[in-house]
Structure 1
Amino acid sequence: MAARSFFSQALHRPTPILEFLFPIFAVHRSRVRYASITTSSASPNTEPSPSSLDRSFSAKRRKPLSEKQRDFLDCALRVNQAGELAATLIYTHQTPPITRAHPHLRPIMHHMYSQEASHFSTFNEMLAKHRIRPTAMYPVWSAAASILGWGTGLMGREAAMACTEAVETEIGRHYNGQVRVLLGWVKEMEERGEEVGEEVRELVSTLKRIRDEELEHLDEAVGEGAREAKPYELLNRVIRSGCKGAIWISERV
């Protein structure tokens, strides 16, 4: 009954929630918006215009992003969207059994779930705006995240929190790496006397905010007994390895 009520409420929430419950909505919306952008910005006799990130990085000297930089941004945003999809699905399947057994955790689970859903919506919009395709592994990651959430939820509070700690450890490192790369670009541009567009600064700010919220989830999970899980070391190692593998694959597929 609790699980049925949870999903019934979720189906009446705004679009981003529907998208993580039914990932095909997010893929379809991104593809439709991608098609509309490319159709309106190009004709058979013209080259597509650069993305807004490209223009933002080259505001003063009009120097476009290098192919390597564009590839980095494509991979980074694609992986981020896939990761946030997985996070929302993990919390969706963990929440009913955990809150039924531990009602005091309902606010924490709701808080973490809501932030992940907001992150997912943010990256959906970025992929559509900058014409970046989602990972082809969407169905696989959806199934894997659902199974992981359901399994650790049934194992109990400690296992669910150990899952959160492991996932957020890898995600926090991943976002840190992206922020370092972007700040390095900004520093190089400033040293060359190039103007850094507002959109780029906003992207760095958004990634920092999302990273900090993910690390907040890690701290909350540790505070709620993540390291009391049995077997903690095995869970932590397996889940972190899975996250690293998923990141590596999503960057390429």
Structure 2
Amino acid sequence: MTPQTTPPGAATARRLPGDPTPAALLDRVIRVDHAGEYGAKRIYEGQLAILGRKHEGPVIRHMLEQELKHLDAFEKFMVERRARPSVLLPIWHVAGFALGAATALMGPKAAMACTVAVEEVIDEHYREQLGKLGTAEPSLTEKIEVFRAEEVEHRDTGLAHGAEQAPAYPVLSSAIKAGSRLAIWLAERF
């Protein structure tokens, strides 16, 4: 039996049985982040379908533009690293738009509550990924760090636009966070 080697700069924790290999981890990171950025794009498109001509339209449009840049970067990583996309993209296409539109129909503050909940989960997710990747993938980790900062900016924008004043904010936020965590778990695997 040969010992497993870890690429230089990778996180130093030992791999446990069931942990993905470094190559599988890279594939998983790119797949889930691509799916997540695609889902975020669809959420903002759903919000814009309802609120695009209202006061919040430019704010949502700005966040969408940033998500499109994130999505483009992960599409390039997919090609460069030959990572496969999530087979669940058709679900994210419908579910993302539906979540964005539904929360926007509840009002601008509910749309911002959706943004806050999703971006808090993404911040947590990106932090975990950075810890797992270590310094083994500098171009990828650099992008993730930049995108994480922009996701935190989106969360702060949502808070500044009254997210916490949305109807049933704690329940709405908890439900969206649970759904986001489930979507991450599924997209990592499928």
Q: TM-score, normalised by structure 1?
A: 0.66
- C-alpha contact (below 8 Å) 2:113/2:163 kept by paired residues: yes
Q: Work out whether 1:228 is the aligned partner of 2:181.
A: no
**Which ranges in structure 2 are unaligned for 5 or more consecutive residues?**
1-6, 9-18
Which residue number in structure 2 is paired with residue 143 of structure 1? 94
Partner of residue 94, structure 1: 47
After TM superposition, list the pairs within 5 Å mapping 1:25-36 onto structure 2.
none
* 2:99 is aligned with 1:162: no
Q: Tell me how far 1:124 sits from its aligned partner.
A: 0.7
Deviations 1:210-231 (A, max 9, x none): 0000010000000000000011
Aligned AA (2:92): W
Query: Does structure 1 retain, via aligned residues, the 8 Å contact 2:113–2:173?
Result: yes
Query: Structure 1: where are the runs of 5+ without partners?
Result: 1-56, 59-65, 187-195
Aligned alpha-carbon RMSD (Å): 1.8
Work out the CA distance in 2 between the residues paired with 1:147 and 1:140: 10
Secondary structure, aligned partner of 1:83: helix
Q: 1:71 is matched with which residue?
A: 24
SS class of match (1:86): helix
- Counterparts of 1:98 and 1:225, CA distance in 2: 15
In 2, distance between residues paired with 1:172 and 1:239? 14
Q: TM-score, normalised by structure 2?
A: 0.87
2:34 to 81, 87, 96: 81
Runs (4+) of structure 1 exceeding 6 A deviation are none
Displacement of 1:106 in angstroms is 2.8
Q: Percent identity?
A: 37
Q: Distance in 2 between matches of 1:110 and 1:143?
A: 19
CA distance in 1: counterparts of 2:117 and 2:86, whole angstroms: 22
Higher-Rg member (1/2):
1
Shift of 1:107: 2.5
Which structure carries more relative contact order (alpha carbon 8 Å, separation 6+)? Answer: 2
State the alpha-carbon separation in 2 of the partners of residues 241 and 113 from structure 1. 22
Shift of 1:67: 6.4
Q: Secondary structure at the match of 2:24?
A: helix
Amino acid at match of 1:73: L
